[in-house]
Amino acid sequence: MKLKDFYYDLPDELIAQDPLLKRSDSRLMVLNRENGDIEHKHFHDITNYLSPGDCLVINDTKVLPARLIGEKEGTGASIEVLLLKRHDDKVWETLVKPGKKARPGAKISFGNGKLIGEVLDVVEEGNRLIRFDYEGIFEEVLDELGQMPLPPYITHKLEDKNRYQTVYAKHTGSAAAPTAGLHFTEELLKKVEDMGVKIARVTLHVGLGTFRPVKVENVLEHHMHSEFYVIDEEAADIINQTKKNGGKIISVGTTSTRTLETAADDEGNIRACSGWTDIFIYPGYKFKIVDRLITNFHLPESTLLMLVSALYDREKVLNAYEIAVKEKYRFFSFGDAMIIL
């Protein structure tokens, strides 16, 4: 399986730079695996493709405003720090630009000294371990000083931080949003529940690796980054009961999908659990839990596009992407959505 097998041509102007005024006004491409039909709808039409007794699985992770711009003490040089992984109360693994200005012992001031970071060590892939000193609660300081770590293909400034959060975001820890969920409003979720569809909440903290390109030509040689996930008893019970009763499991996003498929046993049952997953889903994979998928349009040659191609035929997925380009759908994080039935 070659990397080029997942390439498609995308004009830059179709990369969505800003979220729509109303989340559920995004367009929705509907792919029907049974008859091959493609429909063009809007996201608020999603209820037409759900049935009483189904289960919608959402990822309730919350994005950290993890991008900090500071000054190196002594020189005043500008340094950008991106928080990646918390090691303890005050120590984080970070990505620093420019790295050459952040050698062990260097101190960086953020917000005129409200937050001070000291570089402790250089670790794997050139990442820096930084210890932060501050007064009060770290999350509150970060909320004041930090910016949303938007993907590199988004060049516009985000005016409202909440637009890079789902309306059901709860557990802080992601370096990126689970973007398929950005289309839901609270009103639409209530409409889904009122029609008899169960909602199961799982958590997967999206890592920065979600933006890292696949660099090997043989896809099977690619090593996935690890991400932390949690499935509690309530979510596991809802999902297992839905399967037992013959309902469909509709996964919102690739992150929910990876969480479910990691936690599932060979019989298709989910257990309450937590841990790290580096599951890599590509064509040939046999899904154990997920019946349908709601997802955005993903980057060419990405592991996310490979996951979608595992659920449906690769050529048909790429054909749908070509149609989306012709129909001028909006792509990537702030873009439009598809549902695979």
- pLDDT for 275 equals 96
* Residue 1 CB-density burial (10 A; 0-12 exposed, 13-18 middle, 19+ buried): middle
Q: How far apart are CA 294 and CA 251, in angstroms?
A: 6
- pLDDT for 91 equals 95
- pLDDT for 159 equals 86
- pLDDT for 161 equals 86
Beta carbons within 8 Å of 264's beta carbon, 6+ residues apart: 270, 288, 289
- pLDDT for 101 equals 85
φ/ψ region of 181 (left if φ > 0, alpha if ψ in -120 to 50, else beta) reads alpha
Q: Which of 84, 86, 129, 88 is nearest to 106 (CA)?
A: 129
274 in Cβ contact with 233 (< 8 Å): no
- Residue recorded with tokens 């979220």: 19
DSSP H helix total and E strand total for the chain = 6, 17
- pLDDT for 152 equals 83
pLDDT (tens digit, 0 to 9) for every residue of the chain, 341 residues total? 999 999 999 999 999 999 999 999 999 999 999 999 999 999 999 999 999 999 999 999 999 898 999 999 989 999 999 998 888 889 999 989 998 889 999 999 999 999 999 999 999 888 999 999 999 999 899 989 999 888 888 989 888 889 999 999 999 889 889 999 999 999 999 999 999 999 999 999 998 777 678 999 999 999 898 899 999 999 999 999 999 999 999 999 999 999 999 999 989 999 999 999 999 999 999 999 999 999 999 999 999 999 999 999 999 999 999 999 999 999 999 999 999 99
**What's the pTM value of the predicted model, to 2 decimals?**
0.90
- pLDDT for 340 equals 98
Beta carbons within 8 Å of 120's beta carbon, 6+ residues apart: 91, 104, 128, 129, 130, 131
